[in-house]
Structure 1
Amino acid sequence: MLTSLSIKNYALIDNLHVNFNDGFSIITGETGAGKSILLGGLSLILGKRADLNSLKDATQKCIIEAVFNVSNYNLKSLFVEEDFDYEAQTIIRREILPSGKSRAFVNDSPVNLNSLQLLGERLIDIHSQHQTLQLTSNAFQFQVIDALANNEDELQKYKKALKSYKNLQKELKDLLDFQAEAIKEHDYNSFLLNELVEANLVEGELEILEEEYETLNNMEGIQEKLAEGYELLSEEEFGILSKLTSLKNALQKLSGFSSKYEEVFNRANSSLIEMDDVFSEINELQNHLEADPSRLGAVDSKLKVLHNLMQKHISSDVSELINIKNQLEEKVAITENLDDTILKKQEDIVLKESELNKISQVIHKKRNDVIPQLKEQLETILSSLGMPNAQFEIDAIYSDAFFTNGKDELSFLFSANKGGNFNELKKAASGGELSRIMLAIKSVLARYIQMPTIMFDEIDTGVSGEISNKMGDIMLQMSKTMQVFSITHLPQIAAKGHSHFKVYKEDINEVTQTNLIKLNHDERIVEIAQMLGGTEMSTSAIAHAKELLN
């Protein structure tokens, strides 16, 4: 419930703070006194978009803050989903800055407007002429029936199953679309794959083949240079090995005289050992080196295959070709196995359809079970509100289609007059009748579900006398289980409130301001007497006001 409201620098409001009680609260005031301003400020708390023109002083920020007791609203899961800090006494604050930017906070944590709207609609239901039109929509009518039918759990199961069903349908469509395209590409992909398979790709082989090709292709020059090296090393008198051996022997005789000579000797000996190793390696290479024209042709052919494939697939090395081959294998395999995948997906859809049908049948039965009860209650309430001939024809017709809330198509028809034709609400009921129907529906809902705070904005427009008295009784009855506000011009309704607030304008320093005060008992007598007889209160008006209050 709404426990307090503070408004600063909004429209004609300079600084307002008011505390509210539970039960039935009345708000009255002359036309133009600022009741719409109060509702506008409250709407900002509920997530309505801000307007810079709302600032009373364009140089100062506007702050609107409301405190709600949410302990009985089962909102912890919503707070978790929206990442709000849960507090039994929840504070919502909106700020409109002079720059035009707007900020919103829940328990001092910043939130976006979408999240604020989700929370706001669970806290306050502002009934206005616009919301009366909502009564004519099937979505709202289903909400009413499902509330009475206690369909919440079934609807959650249904919506979860429907989401899964639609996902499966999309996946099947994607598979069928893919299959249609894949069939066109299958032969080409198979051809490309066969090319890559026949190439017997081995990672790293390109570099090995290129090295082998260079060797085979330059065999004569390689043999010539190896022979030249062999000769330089091994020539008996002037070869490098012979000369190094002589050098080693000469230095060996000096190594005993000084460590410096020994170091030179060791280096010369190391050079001899290294050159001897080089000689052995050259000899080994010569022994294994022979021209092989057929191998050269084979290597050349394989390199041409690899280079052609790399050019065709725009690849830089064999490893990329191997990845492309793997991808083509997967595409070809998927295409060849797609029928099995599609069949499995179709079977999953049939199972999900069966689940949806079972849940929707339960929803349908529960709806039809409560429709006579809803019809009877609405007609009884409307009869007491001056519509004795009001009748409803309500049918939930089971269909073949899966809708967002089941498989029912709803027919919600109304006739206001005896012997009149039944028609849709928006065609069969006037604005005043729609307001009374909405009040009747809200009254019925209050018996079955925990509703948020409700604020009726002049729902009594166009009625008077005993009907207004009965409307007041209905709202008073509703206030036993929820917080109810009524903005009214009728004294009969105003007198029924547990609390009474007055909206008024006053001029301070030649500036008009809107304010809101809570009236005590004597002030209520004066206010109701003025509502009965105008500002010139007669003795009878005062007496009548006291009688209404008592």
Structure 2
Amino acid sequence: MLKQLYIKNYALIDQLDINFESGFSVITGETGAGKSIVLGAIGLLLGQRADSKSIKQGAEKCVIEAHFDLSRYQMEAFFEQNDIEYDAEDTIVRRELTAAGKSRAFINDEPVALSLMKELGDQLVDVHSQHQNLLLGKQDFQLEVIDIVADDEALIAHYRESYEKMHATERELEDMRQEIARNQQQVDFLRFQFNELDAAGLVDGEQDELEQKQERMTHAEDIKQALYETDTLLMNEATGAVGALRKAASSLHSIEHVLPELKDLAERLNSCYIEAKDVASDVSGQLEDVDFDPAELDQVNTRLDKIYDLEKKYRVETIGELISQRDKLKCQLDAIDNSDDALTSLEQRLQKERNDATEIAEKLTKKRLEASHLIYKKMIASLQLLGMPRVTFQIQIDKADLGPKGQDRVAFLFSANSSTPLLPIAQVASGGEIARVMLSLKAMISGVVKLPTIIFDEVDTGVSGKIAEQMAQIMSDMGQNGRQVISITHLPQIAAKGCAHYKVYKEETDSGTKSHMQRLTNDERINEIAQMLSGSDISSAAIENARQLLKIS
């Protein structure tokens, strides 16, 4: 629950530091006194967008801070998941705005993203305003009310997972159909390209081998001349190096018995002779193999020209890329040829997933129908207490196409009396009737959703007298069991029901208009409620009436 609210330099508020109680509290004040300012400050703590114009004129910074007691609400998991220090008895939420337009958010003095502050705020405070009454005509809001009472969160999560899986398959199927349509339009061209590349008989590495062969054949005469000269220098009978090495080695061997140290030199020369002889044999072999065939060179050139033309045509640089392009075309053509089978398979998968989602949606519908009966009973009982003895309230659930929230189309139907047919509530209910319906819904929901704090902003619009007393009783009952309910009201019947009463008022000073808020004592409450009853001139009858409302003697 909200324990303390501190506001500094916000709109007309210089500084406000006030404590709140559990149970049912009320806030009163004249129109324009600043009640909406206090509510706006709380809204900033709930993650609403900030406007630098909200900062008090002349101030550099605005600070809004609230302390919450969360010890009854098991919210530790939120703080653990977001790595924020947890203090159940004193959770601090703070928002700072600067005149320069900067905004900072803090939870327990740790800087956080505004989105995270909003996520926490949604779990701390529910602010119900007249604007929120407009939600009553929205199908999403109506469905949310049913789901809260049905307590079907786990089933909704299961359905959403199944629906998203089905929806993804629907997109995949649509993409496949579009792809098939595009491929069918160009299948002849794709087949021509594949046939061209396939007919080329491409072999990986072939281009390098042909280019090397082309290089050798183009320079065949130079190669042959070099090999011939080398062969002559090595093997000439008179001057050849091989014969000279053999003779030199033989000469040294002939005298090694006289000069033994020459033996190693003779062996080295002999090794040179053997190696040179071997090289000479290889050169002679290469010389015999060198042959220039113009017809073969023409074949090599023709083949390379074909490869080069294909590479240019398909905008690649290697024969490997051509082969890759050929294989890709083959896959595309196979996909086109087998597209009917693939399409049928995907359609069957989609149908199974749609059946699965429908099965879960039907379970969801069943739970919602059960919840709608419970809501009907509670709403009729509550609305009859609020001065509508002949009210009829019905929840109509029709089957619709599968959507993100199931297959249910929801409508809240309403009739305030027996002579009026049941119609969608937004079409037939007056402002006062809608206010009573929303209060009844909130009271019912509050028993399911354990929100620490609920704030009603002038929920009493369009009602008075006995009905206002009943509304006050409902809010007072909501404030039991440690829950905190705060009502901003103009009605004395509601103000008198509060366990704590706060007044917002304006003060004209030399430095301008300022708004203040204070908790009223019993005597101050009597005067405030008497003024609400009779206006600025408080009569003794109004004082006595106020005492009776407050049950103060």
Q: Report the TM-score, using the length of structure 2 for normalisation.
A: 0.87
Q: CA deviation at 1:146?
A: 2.4
Q: Deviations over 1:442-488 (max 9, x none)?
A: 12222333245211111113322211111110100111143211001
Q: CA deviation at 1:246?
A: 9.1
The whole-number CA distance in structure 2 between the counterparts of 1:468 and 1:2 is 25
**Paired position in structure 1 for 2:512:** 511
The 1:529–1:271 alpha-carbon spacing in structure 2 relative to 1, beyond 3 Å, is farther
| Matched position secondary structure for 1:122 | helix
The 1:358–1:74 alpha-carbon spacing in structure 2 relative to 1, beyond 3 Å, is farther
Report 1:4-83 matches (<5 A): 4-73=4-73, 75=75
Report 1:99-248 matches (<5 A): 99-239=100-240
Quick one: which amino acid aligns to residue 498 of structure 2? G
The whole-number CA distance in structure 2 between the counterparts of 1:75 and 1:363 is 27
1:319 aligns with 2:320: yes
**Paired position in structure 2 for 1:356:** 357
Q: CA deviation at 1:172?
A: 0.9
Question: How many equivalent residue pairs?
Answer: 543
**Paired position in structure 2 for 1:406:** 406
In structure 2, the gaps of 5 or more residues are 254-264
Q: Deviations over 1:48-88 (max 9, x none)?
A: 21111111144512122223334555656666777766653
**Paired position in structure 1 for 2:260:** none
**Do the aligned residues in 1 keep the contact of 2:531 with 2:538 (CA within 8 Å)?**
yes
The whole-number CA distance in structure 2 between the counterparts of 1:330 and 1:336 is 10
The whole-number CA distance in structure 2 between the counterparts of 1:338 and 1:352 is 21
The 1:211–1:38 alpha-carbon spacing in structure 2 relative to 1, beyond 3 Å, is same
The 1:80–1:340 alpha-carbon spacing in structure 2 relative to 1, beyond 3 Å, is farther
**Do the aligned residues in 1 keep the contact of 2:390 with 2:417 (CA within 8 Å)?**
yes
| Matched position secondary structure for 2:232 | helix
Quick one: which amino acid aligns to residue 367 of structure 1? R
**Do the aligned residues in 1 keep the contact of 2:431 with 2:461 (CA within 8 Å)?**
no
The whole-number CA distance in structure 2 between the counterparts of 1:347 and 1:108 is 55
105-114 vs 73-82, greater mean Cα deviation: 73-82
The whole-number CA distance in structure 2 between the counterparts of 1:95 and 1:323 is 61
**Do the aligned residues in 1 keep the contact of 2:142 with 2:411 (CA within 8 Å)?**
no
Quick one: which amino acid aligns to residue 458 of structure 1? E
1:394 aligns with 2:395: yes
**Do the aligned residues in 2 keep the contact of 1:125 with 1:454 (CA within 8 Å)?**
yes
Q: Deviations over 1:215-273 (max 9, x none)?
A: 12332332233212322444444556677889999999xxxxxxxxxxx9999999988
**Paired position in structure 2 for 1:383:** 384
The whole-number CA distance in structure 2 between the counterparts of 1:144 and 1:363 is 14
The whole-number CA distance in structure 1 between the counterparts of 2:62 and 2:298 is 87
**Do the aligned residues in 2 keep the contact of 1:395 with 1:411 (CA within 8 Å)?**
yes
**Do the aligned residues in 1 keep the contact of 2:431 with 2:462 (CA within 8 Å)?**
no
Report 1:426-437 matches (<5 A): 426-437=426-437
The whole-number CA distance in structure 2 between the counterparts of 1:413 and 1:230 is 111
Q: CA deviation at 1:385?
A: 1.9
| Matched position secondary structure for 2:30 | coil
The whole-number CA distance in structure 2 between the counterparts of 1:247 and 1:120 is 105
**Paired position in structure 1 for 2:261:** none
**Paired position in structure 1 for 2:257:** none
Quick one: which amino acid aligns to residue 458 of structure 2? E
The whole-number CA distance in structure 1 between the counterparts of 2:52 and 2:370 is 51
The 1:421–1:146 alpha-carbon spacing in structure 2 relative to 1, beyond 3 Å, is same
40-49 vs 146-155, greater mean Cα deviation: 146-155
The whole-number CA distance in structure 2 between the counterparts of 1:447 and 1:429 is 25
**Do the aligned residues in 2 keep the contact of 1:27 with 1:501 (CA within 8 Å)?**
yes
RMSD (CA atoms): 3.3
| Matched position secondary structure for 2:123 | coil
Percent of residue pairs bearing the same amino acid type: 41
**Paired position in structure 2 for 1:475:** 475
Q: Deviations over 1:24-54 (max 9, x none)?
A: 1111122221101001111111222111111
| Matched position secondary structure for 1:121 | helix
The 1:248–1:537 alpha-carbon spacing in structure 2 relative to 1, beyond 3 Å, is farther
Quick one: which amino acid aligns to residue 156 of structure 1? A
The whole-number CA distance in structure 2 between the counterparts of 1:223 and 1:5 is 102
| Matched position secondary structure for 1:335 | helix
| Matched position secondary structure for 1:319 | helix
The 1:423–1:271 alpha-carbon spacing in structure 2 relative to 1, beyond 3 Å, is same
160-169 vs 537-546, greater mean Cα deviation: 537-546
290-299 vs 168-177, greater mean Cα deviation: 290-299
**Do the aligned residues in 1 keep the contact of 2:51 with 2:101 (CA within 8 Å)?**
yes
Q: CA deviation at 1:296?
A: 3.2
In structure 1, the gaps of 5 or more residues are 253-263
**Paired position in structure 1 for 2:449:** 449
Quick one: which amino acid aligns to residue 328 of structure 2? Q
The whole-number CA distance in structure 2 between the counterparts of 1:266 and 1:47 is 97
The whole-number CA distance in structure 2 between the counterparts of 1:72 and 1:324 is 67
Quick one: which amino acid aligns to residue 91 of structure 1? I
Q: CA deviation at 1:96?
A: 1.4
The 1:106–1:248 alpha-carbon spacing in structure 2 relative to 1, beyond 3 Å, is farther
Q: Deviations over 1:89-110 (max 9, x none)?
A: 4432222122112222334444
Quick one: which amino acid aligns to residue 546 of structure 1? R
The whole-number CA distance in structure 1 between the counterparts of 2:57 and 2:244 is 107
The 1:146–1:242 alpha-carbon spacing in structure 2 relative to 1, beyond 3 Å, is same
| Matched position secondary structure for 1:24 | strand
The whole-number CA distance in structure 2 between the counterparts of 1:323 and 1:61 is 65
**Do the aligned residues in 1 keep the contact of 2:45 with 2:65 (CA within 8 Å)?**
yes
**Paired position in structure 1 for 2:462:** 462
The 1:265–1:475 alpha-carbon spacing in structure 2 relative to 1, beyond 3 Å, is farther
Q: CA deviation at 1:132?
A: 0.5
The whole-number CA distance in structure 2 between the counterparts of 1:454 and 1:421 is 33
The 1:145–1:38 alpha-carbon spacing in structure 2 relative to 1, beyond 3 Å, is same
**Do the aligned residues in 1 keep the contact of 2:63 with 2:97 (CA within 8 Å)?**
yes
1:501 aligns with 2:521: no
Q: Deviations over 1:267-287 (max 9, x none)?
A: 999998886665444223113
Quick one: which amino acid aligns to residue 27 of structure 1? I
**Paired position in structure 2 for 1:546:** 547
**Paired position in structure 2 for 1:258:** none
**Do the aligned residues in 2 keep the contact of 1:123 with 1:452 (CA within 8 Å)?**
yes
| Matched position secondary structure for 1:171 | helix
**Paired position in structure 2 for 1:374:** 375
The whole-number CA distance in structure 2 between the counterparts of 1:281 and 1:7 is 100
Q: CA deviation at 1:166?
A: 0.7
| Matched position secondary structure for 1:504 | strand
The whole-number CA distance in structure 2 between the counterparts of 1:13 and 1:130 is 24
The 1:75–1:162 alpha-carbon spacing in structure 2 relative to 1, beyond 3 Å, is farther
| Matched position secondary structure for 1:421 | coil
